[in-house]
Structure 1
Amino acid sequence: MTYSIAILGASGYTGAELIRLIAGHPHLAISALGANSKAGKTIAEVFPHLRHLELPALLQIDQIDFANIDLCFCALPHKTSQQVVAALPADLKIVDLSADFRLRDPDAYKKWYGNEHAAVDQQHEAVYGLTEFYREQIAPARLVAGTGCNAATGQFVLRPLVVAGIIDLDEIILDLKCAVSGAGRSLKENLLHAELSEGYHAYAVGGTHRHLGEFDQEFSALAGRPVQVQFTPHLIPANRGILATTYVKGDPDRIYETLCAAYADEPFIEVLPFGETPSTHHVRGSNYCHIGVSRDRLPGRAIITGALDNLTKGSSGQALQNANLMLGIEETEGLTMAPLFP
């Protein structure tokens, strides 16, 4: 069976990644592409690397007929996505890649994103889209909220350890290096080549990054009490990838055993041999996440490193993984391509 798919926000990086992934999917066909700023253009004009695909021209979102669409991906900016999702047909399956439905508490959304939640009714039905931990809720859901790419990386590294209670929850330091595509395709002065290349810098220092809302929500729910990690992202001059280096207090051998057990049957999460560390090069363009555990020189401490591609496993690949579940398709369909190297 073939399902009809719409992608809103198709002119952005995550939209292009969705097109790339769905192009090789045996059960999905793209029937509509929405991109208000580039409406009327062809994919060849917007993304020349996709010119070989036979795809519909980009439309204004309000021009799309959703009557025969089985599932819609919304790859729109936050604030915009709430308004669009609220106006879509009530029976349409939706995977939202923005931040607009990730936080269950509308007050938390206002705190981290600075505006009132505009689609509270839809928020109540949204399921958090970290596939490996929410499969049972995602499969029957109508609306799934994709996670932040930084939030996904940190959670893959830490969730099993929080559940097992084997690390000090008040002593978690999460240091992330993030590629520039995570900032989107909009023109920004600080992302110009001359501004970004040949260096990297910390940003959102001191606990102001919006993905902290997801960490607070998820880790506190798992622990049954408030958990607040120290988190600093750094922007690096790379196109794709996130590398998370996490410092925790706990027994390194037990931490390694716990992660191995948690991910033993997961098709996209690979725990490396003890002492090995992952690289963003080794997951580039793929839906895989690599995790490494190393012993710190200080007794009772460990360093856990995680790497994934922010556009694939951190966003569009995760979205497709969720869509497969929602449509009753094998979860790994269209996602087992090998990473690109070099």
Structure 2
Amino acid sequence: MIHSVAILGASGYTGAELVRIIATHPSLRIAALSADRKAGMQMADVFPHLRHLDLPTLTTIDQIDFDEIELVFCALPHGLSQALVRDLPRSVKVVDLGADFRLRDPADYKKWYGLDHAAPELQPEAVYGLTEFYRDEIRGARLVAGTGCNAATVQFALRPLIEGALIDLDDIICDLKNGISGAGRSLKENMLFPERSTDVIGYSLGGKHRHLGEFDQEFSKIAGRKVEIMFTPNLVPINRGIHAACYVKGDPQAIHAALAARYADEPFIVVLPFGQAPGTGHVAGSNFCHIGVIGDRKPGRALVISTLDNLNKGSSGQAVQNANLMLGLPETEGLMLAPVFP
């Protein structure tokens, strides 16, 4: 059976990545593509690398007949999905790649995003889209909220350790290196090539990064008490990829054993042999996450490194993984592409 899907916000990086993935998916068909500012254009004119595909013309959202759509991917800027999803037919399933439904408490959404939630009545039905930990809930969901890419990278490294009480919850430091595509496709002066090509710079520092809302929500839920990690994101001059270096206190061998056991049957999470470190180039263009554990020279300290592609496993690949579950398809369908290297 072929399922008709729509991609809203198809002119952004995550929209283009969705098209690239779905183009070879045996059970999904792209029936509609929206990009309000580029309505009337062909995807080949917006993204020449997709020229070989037979795709619908870009339209405005209000031109789409949602009665013909089974599932919608919302790849829209923050704040735009809430009212839109509220007005969709209840028969349409939704995977939101933005932040509009990630935080269960609308007050937390306002705290971190500065906006009043436009559809708080929908929030209770939204399932957090970290597939490997919410798989059963996602299967029966109508609305799935994709995680932040930074939030996913760190959670893959730390969730099993918090669940197993293997690390000191009051001393967790996470240092992230993020590819430039994580900042989106809109024009920004500080993202111009001369300003970023030879520079590494931190941003949203001092506990201000919005993904901290997800860490607070998820880690505190697991631990049964308040957990607040120290988190430093940095932009580095690569196109895509996230490298999360998490410094924790705990037994390195026990930490590695716990991660290896937790992810042994997960198709997209690879735990490397003890002492090996993953790189962003080893997962680029794929739905894989690689995790490595390295012991420190001082006993009782460990470095846990998690890497993934922010546009794929951190966003669009995760979205398709969740859509597969929601539509009753094999979870890995259309997603087993090998990483692109070099």
Normalised TM-score (structure 1): 0.99
Partner-residue secondary structure (3-state), 1:231: strand
Q: Is the 8 A contact 2:10 2:16 kept in 1?
A: yes
Code of the aligned partner of 1:281: G
Aligned residues: 342
What is the match of residue 31 of structure 1? 31
What is the match of residue 47 of structure 1? 47
Q: Is the 8 A contact 2:70 2:91 kept in 1?
A: no
What is the match of residue 218 of structure 2? 218
Partner-residue secondary structure (3-state), 1:147: coil
Partners of 2:237 and 2:188 lie apart in 1 by 14
Partners of 2:156 and 2:289 lie apart in 1 by 8
What is the match of residue 120 of structure 2? 120
1:90-105 matches, cutoff 5 A: 90-105=90-105
Partner-residue secondary structure (3-state), 2:331: coil
Uncovered stretches (5+) of structure 1, i.e. residues with no partner: none
| C-alpha distance after superposition, 1:234-263 (max 9, x if no partner) | 001110000000000000010000000000
Code of the aligned partner of 1:330: P
1:244-259 matches, cutoff 5 A: 244-259=244-259
Partners of 1:268 and 1:146 lie apart in 2 by 16
| C-alpha distance after superposition, 1:90-131 (max 9, x if no partner) | 221000000000000000000000011111111111000000
1:89 to partner: Cα distance? 1.3
In the alignment, structure 1 residue 17 sits paired with structure 2 residue 17? yes
Partners of 1:278 and 1:122 lie apart in 2 by 38
Partners of 2:191 and 2:87 lie apart in 1 by 33
Partners of 1:232 and 1:203 lie apart in 2 by 8
1:200-211 matches, cutoff 5 A: 200-211=200-211
Partners of 1:14 and 1:324 lie apart in 2 by 17
1:81 to partner: Cα distance? 1.5
Code of the aligned partner of 1:102: R
State the 4+ residue runs in structure 1 displaced beyond 4 angstroms.
none
Uncovered stretches (5+) of structure 2, i.e. residues with no partner: none
Partners of 2:273 and 2:253 lie apart in 1 by 12
1:83 to partner: Cα distance? 2.0
In the alignment, structure 1 residue 264 sits paired with structure 2 residue 257? no
Partners of 2:270 and 2:20 lie apart in 1 by 23
Q: RMSD of the TM alignment (CA)?
A: 0.5
What is the match of residue 147 of structure 1? 147
Partner-residue secondary structure (3-state), 1:19: helix
Q: Is the 8 A contact 2:109 2:115 kept in 1?
A: yes
Q: In percent, how many aligned pairs have the same letter? A: 67
1:211 to partner: Cα distance? 0.1
